[in-house]
């Protein structure tokens, strides 16, 4: 039985050797007074990450500000699963062939820190729209478990955050501060796991 499953897995890998998993994406929208975040990802696939099998996550960030300004885009993570993250920026909508005009690499092969710190990825004018594409996989030899990854945006006096189970927009307060003040209640409502890694070596047991 185990050998049959391994053979099936090899067939899938042969067909899609480097493509992130993208089977049944879920769309989430966080709309604030100024900021708008649109998240698209296959969270079911993210629930069983394995090394070398990345999951794709697209986040579109835009703003409708009354005055010209800057929007800062960042990312944070908390948890025990050791993830490797690639992040690319396209200032136009992604197509089937990639980013028209070429994408900007924001991070490559990044083992994202899991202490909840927010790391800046890029900045843009609030008249622009950023299409950020993440590719996330379990690090080879890294810890398994679960890790929450969230994308943050701030500008025009507003902050917004989006993750696996949704997000929120707040005025005059960083989302990081909001999570601290909200403590357990906020985490219970919004703290869905990005990754619940199932190590086959631990669950399959010996061949039978």
The domain spanning residue 146 has which CATH number? 2.60.40
The pLDDT tens digits for 128-162 are 999 999 999 999 887 678 889 999 999 999 999 99
Any domain includes 94: yes
Any domain includes 4: no
Any domain includes 17: no
Closest CA to 117 of 29, 179, 49: 179
Q: Residue 11, exposed/middle/buried by CB under 10 A (0-12, 13-18, 19+)? A: exposed
Any domain includes 121: yes
Any domain includes 3: no
Structural domain total, the chain: 1
Closest CA to 94 of 55, 129, 43: 129
Any domain includes 18: no
Q: Degrees (nearest 5) of the Cα angle 34, 39, 40?
A: 155
Task: Return the pLDDT at 86.
Answer: 97
The pLDDT tens digits for 164-204 are 877 787 775 444 434 433 433 333 333 344 444 444 444 44
Domain that includes residue 97, residue range: 25-202
Any domain includes 14: no
| pTM, full prediction | 0.73
């Amino acid at each position: 039985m185990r050998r049959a499953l391994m053979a099936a897995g090899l067939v899938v890998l042969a067909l899609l050797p480097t493509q992130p998993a993208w089977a049944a994406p879920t769309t989430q929208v966080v709309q604030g007074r100024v900021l708008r975040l649109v998240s698209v990802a296959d969270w079911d696939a993210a629930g069983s990450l394995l090394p070398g099998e990345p999951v794709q996550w697209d986040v579109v960030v835009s703003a409708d500000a009354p005055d010209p300004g800057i929007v800062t885009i960042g990312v944070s993570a908390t948890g025990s699963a050791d993830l490797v993250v690639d992040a690319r920026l396209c200032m136009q909508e992604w197509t089937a062939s990639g980013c028209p005009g070429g994408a900007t690499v924001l991070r490559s092969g990044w083992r994202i820190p899991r202490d909840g710190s927010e790391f800046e990825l890029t900045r843009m004018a609030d008249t622009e729209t950023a299409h950020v594409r993440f590719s996330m996989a379990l690090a080879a030899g890294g810890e398994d478990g679960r890790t929450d990854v969230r994308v943050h945006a701030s500008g025009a006096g507003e902050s917004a955050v989006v993750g696996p189970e949704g997000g929120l927009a707040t005025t005059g307060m960083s989302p990081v501060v909001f999570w601290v003040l909200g403590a357990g209640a906020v985490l219970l409502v919004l703290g869905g796991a990005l990754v619940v890694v199932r190590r086959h070596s631990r669950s399959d047991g010996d061949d039978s």
